[in-house]
């Protein structure tokens, strides 16, 4: 008997983006969607179209770009949400609307203030309306983990009758244990057999998101919702890489199931999301953590040298982590070699992006002797995911420090002209950021600052991530890359400012209309 395919529904761009500080700009979302397509996910939940014009725009652009994954937008069970979702995904080759309403007593009574009958009516109306836009409609019983089984059967009957093709059972608050999820999924999949696909969506509040998803598969779920690096609300969602690699590595147990995921794209996907959101997986995170393949103790190293299988159940190569990250290109490398190398790393750039990346590469190669795969990944990601550059750093001059007054002279290009300003600060960084604030007229509050070296060597690239709140709005992440840490910091700060300006509308609407948060 050939194995059944478990659909992988990735919600990094929707539930993942709901992680504090993980807001992404449209360009960043497009790059992530392209990577998710390479990874082979079946469904990409590209966002929540009604949340803001920015969300709508990103979903619409992704829908036009991606061809082999289904593009989905979330929508509350409200006509205006469903209309936005339907319009945003209209141009997708394969499209889905995902609508939801809470079905647990606690949510219906206290949050929705609706009776169960009203909830059913709303759900049916939402699904019927969604079907006027698409054939593929997913309905979620929000807080299914704490919902009454009888009620979930009743509402599922009604929405299937109205045209829902997938019934998702989210453990919204991450409360359930694997045995409980298994029992819920078994009963619901037997009940709906042949009428709808049962899906699960497990949050990780008790650290059980992945275990619950695997138990769901064995009990009849044929779609699993998850995120790269386990990003998501609070403790996050079940991690895609862990679910997929568990199914693959334990094919003795999961012999009847397979996925469409190309596992060698797992590591590049994880790196892309970490660098865009600035949220690094913990070092000991399964599959993609920095230490996931590190063998520290002498006994383990000895075993590994004799036979890797002694301590390694997954090969780094199988997730696309090529350990032999040798010197790749240098300052004499040409554009063709550069393009070829990028293609090997999974980056297919259009002419404009290729030229911009190549120009940056040449500058880097002049100053840095050895260029590694990670340097190239960082450089290209940085180049591709830039928000529209309203402000561009032209030059930076610093006067320090040891006993004088730290000061910075910053030259910035705007769409209209070039502006030079100088300012002082408590330290060099403070002087740089304050001077940029003076030029832009936006006051930024630095909430977090991280610097890490991209690869090895004293001349390593500094990758700076800043988290800034402009004018008291929700925090925005910015990235800067340069051999010089101060230049990288200035770029990161300006990057955050550009993202803030490109998302200003979105942040305002999220801020002022809390009823729109999911």
Could you say whether residue 271 binds ligand KIV (CB under 6 A)? no
| Six token digits for residue 27 | 């360009």
Q: Is 174 in the site for ligand KIV (CB under 6 A)?
A: no
Tell me the site size for Zn ion, rule CB under 5 A: 1
Least distance CB 143 / Zn ion (angstroms)? 10
Q: Using an 8 Å Cβ cutoff, are 84 and 73 in contact?
A: yes
Pick from 286, 459, 279: which is nearest to 369 by CA?
A: 459
Smaller CB distance to ligand KIV: residue 168 or 277? 168
Shortest Å distance, C-beta 9 to ligand KIV: 10
Decide if residue 480 touches ligand KIV (CB under 6 A): no
- Residue 137: strand, helix, or coil: strand
- Shortest gap between Cβ of 342 and Zn ion (angstroms)? 34
Q: Is 236 in the site for ligand KIV (CB under 6 A)?
A: no
Q: Distance (Å, rounded) from C-alpha 270 to C-alpha 493?
A: 24
Q: Which of Zn ion, ligand KIV, none binds 142 (CB below 5-8 Å, type-dependent)? A: ligand KIV
- The Cα–Cα gap between 271 and 83 comes to 34
| Candidate ranges 51-59, 164-172, 438-446, 461-469; the one touching ligand KIV (CB under 6 A) | 164-172
Report the residue number, 15 or 215, with the smaller CB distance to ligand KIV: 15
Burial 468-497, CB ≥16 within 10 A → b, else e: bbbeebbbbbbbbbbbebbbbbbbbbbbbb
Report the first-to-last Cα separation within the chain, whole angstroms.
41
**Binding site partner of 140, from ligand KIV, Zn ion, none, Cβ cut-off 5-8 A by kind:** ligand KIV
Please list, in sequence order, all residues whose beta carbon lies within 8 angstroms of the beta carbon of residue 23, skipping any fewer than 6 positions away: 17, 474, 475, 476, 477, 499, 503, 506, 507
Using DSSP's 3-state secondary structure scheme, residue 466 falls into strand
Mark 181-218 as b/e (b = at least 16 C-beta within 10 Å). Answer: bbebbbbbbebbeeebbbbbbbbbbbebbbbbbbbbbe
Establish if 147 lies at the interface with ligand KIV (CB under 6 A): no
Taking the CA atoms of 273, 275, 279 and 280 in sequence, report the sign of the dihedral they define.
positive
- Residue 377 partner contact from Zn ion, ligand KIV, none using kind-dependent CB cut-offs of 5 to 8 Å: none
Identify which of residues 49 and 488 has a Cβ nearer to Zn ion in the complex. 49
Of 201 and 506, CB closest to ligand KIV: 201
Provide CB contacts within 8 A for 194, sequence distance 6+: none
Q: How far is the CB of 92 from ligand KIV (least distance, A)?
A: 20
Contact string 97-136 vs ligand KIV (x = CB under 6 A):
---x------------------------------------
Residue 84 C-beta: closest distance to ligand KIV, Å:
15
Binding mask 190-209 for ligand KIV (x = CB under 6 A): -----------x-x------
DSSP states along 40-85:
T-SEEEEE-GGG-HHHHHHHHHHHHH--SSEEEEEEESSHHHHHHH
Q: Binding to ligand KIV (CB under 6 A): which residues in 13-72?
A: 15
Q: At its nearest, how many Å lie between ligand KIV and the CB of residue 240?
A: 15
Whose Cβ is closer to ligand KIV: residue 181's or residue 408's? Answer: 181
Name residues contacting Zn ion, limited to 13-32 (CB under 5 A): 15
Report residue 451 as tokens: 């610097």
Please give the Cα distance from 148 to 161 (Å, whole number): 20
Q: Judged by CB under 6 A, which stretch of 84-92, 165-173, 180-188, 405-413 contacts ligand KIV?
A: 165-173
Residues at the interface with ligand KIV (CB under 6 A): 15, 100, 140, 142, 168, 170, 172, 201, 203, 518
Residues at the interface with Zn ion (CB under 5 A): 15
């Amino acid at each position: 008997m050939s194995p059944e395919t478990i659909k992988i529904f990735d919600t990094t761009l929707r539930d993942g983006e709901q992680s504090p500080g993980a807001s992404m700009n449209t360009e960043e979302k497009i790059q992530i969607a392209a990577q998710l397509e390479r990874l082979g996910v079946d469904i990409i939940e590209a966002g929540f179209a009604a949340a803001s014009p920015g969300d709508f725009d990103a979903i619409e652009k992704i829908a036009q770009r991606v061809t082999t994954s289904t593009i989905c937008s979330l929508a509350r069970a409200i006509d205006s949400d469903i209309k936005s979702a339907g319009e945003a995904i209209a141009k997708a080759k394969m499209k889905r609307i995902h609508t939801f309403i809470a079905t647990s007593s606690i949510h219906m009574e206290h949050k929705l203030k609706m009776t169960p009958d009203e909830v059913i009516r709303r759900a049916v109306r939402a699904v019927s309306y969604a079907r006027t836009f698409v054939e593929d409609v997913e309905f979620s019983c929000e807080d299914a983990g704490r919902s009454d089984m009888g009620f979930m059967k009743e509402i599922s009957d009604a929405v299937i009758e109205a045209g829902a093709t997938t019934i998702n059972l989210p453990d919204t608050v991450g409360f359930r244990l694997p045995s409980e999820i298994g029992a819920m999924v078994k009963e619901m999949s037997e009940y709906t057999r042949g009428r709808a696909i049962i899906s699960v969506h497990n949050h990780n509040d008790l650290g059980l998101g992945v275990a619950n998803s695997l138990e769901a598969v064995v009990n009849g779920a044929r779609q699993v919702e998850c995120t790269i690096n386990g990003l998501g609300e609070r403790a996050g969602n079940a991690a895609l890489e862990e679910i997929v690699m568990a199914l693959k590595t334990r094919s003795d147990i999961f012999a009847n199931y397979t996925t469409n995921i190309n596992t060698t794209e797992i590591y590049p996907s994880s790196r892309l999301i970490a660098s865009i959101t600035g949220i690094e997986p913990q070092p000991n995170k399964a599959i993609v953590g920095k230490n996931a393949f590190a063998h520290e103790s002498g006994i383990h190293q000895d075993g590994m040298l004799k036979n890797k299988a002694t301590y390694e159940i997954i090969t780094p190569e199988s997730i696309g982590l090529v350990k032999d990250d040798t010197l790749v290109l240098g300052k004499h490398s040409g554009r063709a070699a550069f393009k070829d190398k990028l293609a090997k790393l999974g980056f297919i750039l259009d002419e404009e992006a290729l030229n911009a990346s190549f120009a940056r590469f040449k500058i880097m190669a002049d100053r840095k002797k050895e260029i590694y795969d990670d340097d190239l990944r960082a450089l290209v990601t940085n180049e591709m995911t830039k928000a529209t550059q309203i402000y561009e750093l032209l030059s930076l001059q610093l006067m320090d420090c040891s006993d004088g007054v730290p000061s910075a002279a910053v030259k910035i290009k705007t769409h209209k002209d070039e502006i030079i300003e100088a300012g002082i600060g408590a330290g060099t960084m403070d002087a740089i950021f304050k001077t940029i604030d003076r030029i832009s007229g936006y006051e930024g509050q630095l909430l977090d600052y991280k610097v890490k070296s991209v690869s090895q060597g004293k001349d390593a690239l500094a990758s700076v991530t800043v988290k800034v709140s402009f004018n008291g709005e929700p925090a925005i992440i910015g990235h800067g890359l340069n051999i010089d840490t101060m230049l990288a910091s200035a770029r990161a700060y300006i990057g955050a400012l550009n993202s803030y300006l490109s998302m200003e509308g979105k942040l305002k609407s999220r801020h002022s209309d809390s009823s729109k948060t999911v």
